[in-house]
Amino acid sequence: MKAKSQPETLTNSTMKVHKGQACHLWLLAVGFSVWACALAAAYVLHSVGCTFGWSTDTLRWSLALAILIHLALIGALWRTFARRFPTPPLSQTDSFMRWVIMGTLIAAFITIVFTLGPALFLTTCT
């Protein structure tokens, strides 16, 4: 008598594995990582400027430069991501991931503008 055979396992030849989604999951966090870096840079510049007695103009220009550098970085990431991946997605998951990643980059850009932009118009050191 033959023993009951184990159920067949799917092999790579029968299973359609698409590695596109998993390798781009880090892109979900990169936009807000840049935002966190911009927030830390703004706090550091402000505290260093106040500690060392920078003029108001110097402090505001340094904050503006730090904010613009981080906005440019997110813009470059968005442009690179938009160009890197073809317009027609391979699957519904690819389409969703592309939409979510682009959305997080745009949300991070807007967040930098709304959270750090007003710092340029407030009184600097008291």
Block means of pLDDT (10 residues each) for the chain, 126 residues, are 49 50 73 94 92 90 95 92 64 75 92 91 77
Q: 59 in a domain, yes or no?
A: yes
Residues 6 or more apart whose CB falls under 8 angstroms from that of 95 comprise 89
- For position 65, what pLDDT does the model report? 96
In a domain, 114, yes or no: yes
Q: Give the pLDDT confidence score for residue 92 in this predicted structure.
A: 67
3-class secondary structure, 64: helix
Question: What is the predicted pLDDT for the residue at 9?
Answer: 43
In a domain, 101, yes or no: yes
Q: Tokens for 8?
A: 């067949």
Q: Residue 16 domain-assigned?
A: no
For residue 112, what pLDDT is reported?
93
* Prediction pTM value: 0.73
Position 78 in a domain: yes
Which residue range forms the structural domain that includes residue 81?
31-120
Q: Domains in the chain: how many in total?
A: 1
| Residue 47 belongs to a domain | yes
CA dist 53 and 56 (Å) reads 9
> Does residue 72 lie within any of the structural domains?
yes
